[in-house]
Amino acid sequence: VLILVRSPLPRLRALLQRCWGRLERGLWPGALGGQSPPWGPVLAVQGPALVPQGINDAGESSAAAPSLLESVLWMAAPKQRRTIEMNRSRRRHPSKLIEMKRNIDVCPECGNLKQKHVLCGYCYAKVKEETRLVRMEIYKKEGGPFNAPTVETVVLYEGEKPTEKDAGKRIIERARRRPSWFVQN
């Protein structure tokens, strides 16, 4: 069952009806696109000869938008599709290929590969791991941040005793054999 409900605002309805009537009769140009004449500033001039100039000035002063569209014609754009042969010659040019590296050597300590001007990655990782464990021991001894003592630190491994040189220094014990690369003193 379809029920028509009348709007409770008769005045609003009357206003809308009047607006719609105006639109249909064409008394409200500009609401529907393309039917109204273009609006622009109009020069009120006394004299007959200035009318054509007035139209030109009005056209130029109101036509600020077309200059952007005109500049599009001067944008750089490819004229022809680049053939696959041209593309391949560019992509495979010797300057674009990866160069072979001639600075790779063998690390004398561990036997892994290393670059000549860079530390050996394996040895560096080994030292980094040991340093991390020493730092953990230090943290356990200190118990928190900002507790670093004002004396030097000495790391001693299994079976090592502090000498006279390590008299006033802080001693960190590590429960393992001394690594060959960590020279004492």
Nearer to another protein, 97 or 183 (CB): 97
Nearer to another protein, 36 or 115 (CB): 115
Q: Least separation, in Å, of the C-beta of 82 and another protein? A: 15
Q: Least separation, in Å, of the C-beta of 104 and another protein? A: 5
Nearer to another protein, 57 or 105 (CB): 105
Q: Least separation, in Å, of the C-beta of 175 and another protein? A: 34
d(CA 110, CA 124): 11
d(CA 10, CA 108): 99
Site residues (vs another protein, CB under 8 A): 91-92, 96-98, 100-101, 104, 113, 115
H-only helix segments in 10-149: 10-25, 51-62, 66-72, 84-91, 121-142
Q: Are 89 and 83 in contact (CB under 8 A)?
A: no
The 3-state DSSP class for residue 154 equals strand
Nearer to another protein, 115 or 163 (CB): 115
Q: Least separation, in Å, of the C-beta of 103 and another protein? A: 9
The secondary structure of 82-110 as a DSSP string is PPHHHHHHHHT-TTTSPPPP--EEE-TTT
DSSP state of 75: S
Measured at the alpha carbon of residue 145, what is the angle toward residues 127 and 172, in degrees to the nearest 5? 45
Q: Are 134 and 179 in contact (CB under 8 A)?
A: no
Q: Least separation, in Å, of the C-beta of 115 and another protein? A: 6
Nearer to another protein, 55 or 113 (CB): 113
